[in-house]
Amino acid sequence: MSKIQREQDRFLEIYLRRADLVYRVCFSFLKNPADTEDAVQNTFLRLLSSDPKFQDQEHEKAWLIVTASNLCRDQLRHWWKKREPLEWHEQTEAAPPTELDETLEALLSLPEKYRFPLYLFYYEGYRSGEIAQLLKKPPSTVRTYLQKGRELLRSKLGGDLFEG
């Protein structure tokens, strides 16, 4: 087997293992299936072009999450996104391909600084210290984001969210 074939196989394995994860991360930022698909594609193109060497699968997962979130933030800051007519966005807005439950919908409506740490904590299983490393924030800041994010979710959904 040639080196090129091995690299293609490695890339395909990573893609098949992590495409859903990258999609969920991108959708949590962009909330639009078309933009999300573009960001997923750009994330895997970045993987292909930079060819990072991962220590283990957890390192691979973290690299993809950070890369996807950075690309989404860049896309949201892009000049044309700020000038996009609201009517155009409303016409192209579509439901995500997977059904959103009430909790995830409420989570996606939160400001990014609360949304992303909560998503990583509850949907991807990261601990607050790991999230702090991924976001390059102090652990105490991440714990504060998690606490305030839970409070916002609780007020949106009512009841004792994440309790019991």
Q: Express each pLDDT in 100-125 by its tens digit.
A: 578 888 888 888 899 889 988 988 88
* Residue-level pLDDT at 61: 94
* pLDDT, position 100: 58
- For the chain, which residues make up each domain, given as ranges? 1-98, 100-164
With residue 86 as reference, give the H or E element that holds it: helix 86-92
Mean pLDDT over the full length of the chain:
84
Out of 4-8, 25-29, 36-40, 140-144, least confident range: 4-8
CATH code 2.60.40.10 for 1-98: no
Q: What is the pLDDT confidence band of residue 4, given thresholds at 50, 70 and 90?
A: confident
Residue 83: pLDDT over 80? no
* Amino acid letter for position 138: P
pLDDT bin (cut points 50, 70, 90) of residue 84 is: low
Closest C-alpha among 108, 120, 127, 4 to residue 64: 120
| Mean pLDDT value of segment 14-35 | 92
Model confidence band, residue 82 (pLDDT cutoffs 50, 70, 90): low
Q: E strands within 78-141?
A: none
Q: Is the pLDDT of residue 126 over 50?
A: yes
Class of domain 100-164: mainly alpha
Q: How many CB atoms lie within 10 A of CB 152?
A: 19
Q: Give the CA radius of gyration of the chain.
A: 17
State how far the Cα of 99 lies from the Cα of 114, in Å rounded to an integer. Answer: 22
Please state the pTM of the whole predicted model.
0.70
pLDDT of 104: 80
Length of the chain: 164
> Where is average pLDDT lowest: 53-62, 70-79, 137-146, 154-163?
154-163
Tell me, what's the pLDDT at 42? 96
Q: Please, what is the Cα angle at 120 between 157 and 150, to 5 degrees? A: 30
- Per-residue pLDDT at 59: 93
Q: Does the pLDDT value for residue 1 go beyond 70?
A: yes
